[in-house]
Amino acid sequence: YIDEFRRDPAETEPLIAVDATCGNGHDTLWLAESCDKVYGFDIQESAVSRTAALLEERGLADKVRLFCDNHANMMKYIREETAVIVFNLGYLPSGDKNITTDAKTTLSALSSSLSLLRADGLLCVTMYPGHPAGKTERKAALAWAAQLDKRAYHCVRTDMLNQPDSAPEILFITTK
């Protein structure tokens, strides 16, 4: 999707991305490698420091602004229209499994994300219904996406056919 923007000669504006759940920083790093500027959020100080260290190590720290805050507050920090917003929900597999995203704040953050997305933007949400909070969150996110105005958004969900029902799913929303 980002490559599409990159190939389009009419695209002259900086490409801005948001990682709403930095965790160990892998997605933030990938976005920093592909975009001009990235905003990253995580409620865990340890996740923010790990992400900062990874970006520093790869020489990409200058491109990224990290915030140890709830992604539901992203509108407080971001003024620009963004091209790509990524949520990797749930908990850090290597961390405290009690610190997980939750349906209420996730829905609030998803609504904020739509306000920030530019035309032809992409909102990408990886959901993990394999744990109880993730199951509730998946249901809430899909119900929220299903009622979005079809004239303004395309909403698509992946479904792994050769995996159990609890396999991760990805919700993609693009703005028309």
| Contact between 14 and 37 (Cβ < 8 Å) | yes
Query: Cβ-closest residue to ligand SAM?
Result: 23
Four-residue CA torsion sign, 119, 7, 66, 62: negative
Q: Residue 87 region, left (φ>0) first, then alpha (ψ -120 to 50), else beta? A: beta
Give the Cα separation of 166 and 163 in Å (integer): 8
Angle, vertex CA 44, rays to CA 122 and CA 132, nearest 5: 70
DSSP 8-class letter at 155: E
Residue 11 vs 163, nearer CB to ligand SAM = 163
Give the Cα separation of 176 and 171 in Å (integer): 16
- Lay out the site mask for ligand SAM across 35-64 (x = CB under 6 A, - = otherwise): ------xxxx--x-----------------
Q: Considering the complex, what minimum distance in angstroms separates the CB of residue 161 from ligand SAM? A: 23
Residue 22 vs 173, nearer CB to ligand SAM = 22
Q: Considering the complex, what minimum distance in angstroms separates the CB of residue 114 from ligand SAM? A: 17
Which residues ranging from 81 to 140 are in contact with ligand SAM (CB under 6 A)? Answer: 88, 90-92, 99-101, 105
67 binds ligand SAM (CB under 6 A): no
- Lay out the site mask for ligand SAM across 2-21 (x = CB under 6 A, - = otherwise): -------------------x
Q: Considering the complex, what minimum distance in angstroms separates the CB of residue 70 from ligand SAM? A: 4
Which has the closest alpha carbon to 71: 47, 94, 93? 47
Please report, as ranges, the residues that interact with ligand SAM according to CB under 6 A. 21-27, 41-44, 47, 70-71, 88, 90-92, 99-101, 105
